[in-house]
Amino acid sequence: MAVAERLRRPEPVNAPAPAAPELTVEGLSKGYTGGSEPVLQSVGFSIQAGERVALLGANGSGKSTLLRCCLRLVEPDAGAIQLFGSDVRSLPSRQLRSLRSRVGFIFQRHNLVGRLSVLSNVIHGAIGHARHPALWCQAMASGHWRERAFRCLEEVGLSEYAARRADRLSGGQSQRVAIARTLMQQPRLVFADEPAASLDPTAGHEMMTLFTRLVRSHGMTLVFASHDLEHARCYADRIIALQAGRVVLDRPVQAVDFQGLDGLYRQEAG
């Protein structure tokens, strides 16, 4: 915390002209087969380009499920999802792929390909754009991609580890590789599921600052799930909070009473 306190809150990002929202979710519901209660219940919100949104909620409140549903990595049960103006739920697979290639996704469990090298994992970030077998692993990729991936690794401070196998990393290192993979992707929108959970304090702040820089300079949009209220306060423009699968709070960060957020985490078991 002490560390965090010394970082200034970044200036608000210039909001773009109020065009169509980047992401609109309406009436989204999802229940896993086997689980008794639905995990998400008519969730709805809408996010503008260039916004940085923090998704808060207790353990098991449905944050990861929500992010997954937006890209149809998990098939929602009901509801409508508009992403970049396309209706995600009715998209044929080719268009869905091209849509996904423009959305970065940082998973809570990182989901690296363990037996490949760190560099190969980062190169995968470009696979949605180039759709070329050369991107399957670093040994086959052209020099151009390898260098770009290497620069992304430098960005997260892992360039020394480029040749290391991805399952021989520490928890924070593998988190960083997942972030580098997303940087490689140069996405228009990033879903990040607790992107700083395994990072040390400095790295966490640097990472969030990096994202903020991208949002500002490339007009990228960022939605991140987090348990770190400090991060939410410093790096989000807007807070959406889930409780037992429902949106219970959705307002600009300035209007959020962080002291009062405790209730969010109190009501729920699990």
Partner 1 sequence: MSARASRASGSLPPRLPGTGLLGFAAYLLAAVVVIWSLADSELSVTRLANGVPEIGRLVGEMFPPAFDRMPSIGRTMLETFQMAVAGTFLGVLLSLPLAVLSARNLSPHPALYYLARGLITFCRTVPDLIWAIIFVITVGLGPFAGVLALMVDTIGFCARFFAEAMEEADDGPPEALRSLGAGRLDMIASAVVPATLPSMIATSLFAFEKSTRSSVVLGLVGAGGIGIELMSAVDMYDYRNVSTIILCIFAMVVAVERLSASLRRRIL
Ligand X SMILES: Nc1ncnc2c1ncn2[C@@H]1O[C@H](COP(=O)(O)OP(=O)(O)OP(=O)(O)O)[C@@H](O)[C@H]1O
Q: How far apart are CA 229 and CA 23, in angstroms?
A: 23
| Residues 223 and 190: beta-carbon distance below 8 Å | yes
Asked if 218 is part of the footprint of a copy of itself (rule: CB under 8 A), the reply reads no
The string over 170-199, giving b where at least 16 C-beta atoms fall within 10 Å of a residue's C-beta and e elsewhere, is: eebbbbbbbbbbbbbbbbbbbbbbbbbbbb
- Say whether residue 31 binds a copy of itself (CB under 8 A): no
**176: partner contacted, choices ligand X, a copy of itself, Mg ion, none (Cβ within 5-8 A by kind):** a copy of itself
Tell me which amino acid residue 72 is: R
User: Can you tell me the distance from the alpha carbon of 97 to that of 76, in angstroms, rounded to the nearest whole number?
Assistant: 17
Two structure tokens written together for 215: 């949002």
Q: Does 18 bind ligand X (CB under 6 A)?
A: no
Task: Output the CA–CA distances (angstroms, integers) from residue 41 to 38, 226, 227, 247, in the order listed.
Answer: 7, 20, 21, 9
Contact string 61-80 vs ligand X (x = CB under 6 A): xxxxx---------------
* 74 is an interface residue for a copy of itself by CB under 8 A: no
Which of 208/253 has CB closer to partner 1? 208
Which of residues 28, 122, 203, 236 is near a copy of itself by CB under 8 A?
Answer: 203
SS3 readout for 192-240:
EECCCCCCCHHHHHHHHHHHHHHHHHHCCEEEEECCCHHHHHHHCCEEE
Length of the chain: 270
Instruction: Identify which range of 10-18, 147-155, 217-225, 251-259 contacts partner 1 by CB under 8 A.
Output: 147-155
150 scored as a contact of a copy of itself (CB under 8 A): no
Q: Which stretch binds ligand X (CB under 6 A): 88-96, 130-138, 163-171, 213-221?
A: 163-171
Binding residues for partner 1, rule: CB under 8 A, are: 71, 73, 97-103, 105, 107, 109, 111-117, 119-120, 124-125, 127-129, 131, 133, 135-140, 146-147, 150, 154-163, 178, 181, 185, 203, 206-207, 210, 266, 269-270
Which residues of the chain form contacts with ligand X (CB under 6 A)? 32, 34-35, 39, 57, 59-65, 108, 168-173, 198
